[in-house]
Amino acid sequence: MRFVGFIIFFIYVYFELIFFIAVANSIGIFLALICIIATSILGFSLVKTRGLKNLSIMQQKIANNESYKNEVIRSVALLFAGFFLLIPGFLTDILGAILLIPHVQNHIVEFIVRKIPIRSKFSSSQMHYQEGDIIEGEFKQKNDE
């Protein structure tokens, strides 16, 4: 059971090498290496600029007491995209480029948001009280026995 991770890793490396050899045979090894380096640099700069933009949107939503859950998930998707683009290889570059597409990020956000359980019936935006508000209610104290 503990060898499953190693097997998956070696299968990934095998397919990455096969894909690199196929691309290097068609465009040349020098151009293939330049493409890998260029995608790493381009991916890093894209993730940096879009990450800063996403951070400013998140700060605005926090200031307006709005939910910023989607921006957090998009930031994580950008982090994974940057990680995949920095790893040398064409398959990881393709996966990183796919994660940079906003439409794909929206689908990932929707999928993850559906999977996250809601822990409370009340959101934090409903809990704003003005000074002088009177909240009436009844309570009973129960002993834990």
Digit-coded pLDDT (tens) for 80-106 = 888 888 888 888 888 888 888 878 877
| 125 pLDDT above the threshold of 70 | no
How far is CA 107 from each of CA 73, 110, 113, 126, rounded to the nearest angstrom?
Answer: 11, 5, 10, 28
Contacts 24+ apart (CB under 8 A), 104-110: 105/74, 105/77, 105/78, 108/73, 108/77, 109/70, 109/73, 109/74, 109/77
Q: What would the two tokens of residue 70 be?
A: 């989607």
Average pLDDT for the chain: 79
Q: What is the pLDDT of residue 119?
A: 56
- Overall pTM > 0.75: no
| 8 pLDDT above the threshold of 80 | yes
- Chain position carrying tokens 């790893």: 87
The stretch 5-20 carries a mean pLDDT of 90
- Share of residues in the chain with pLDDT > 90 (%): 12
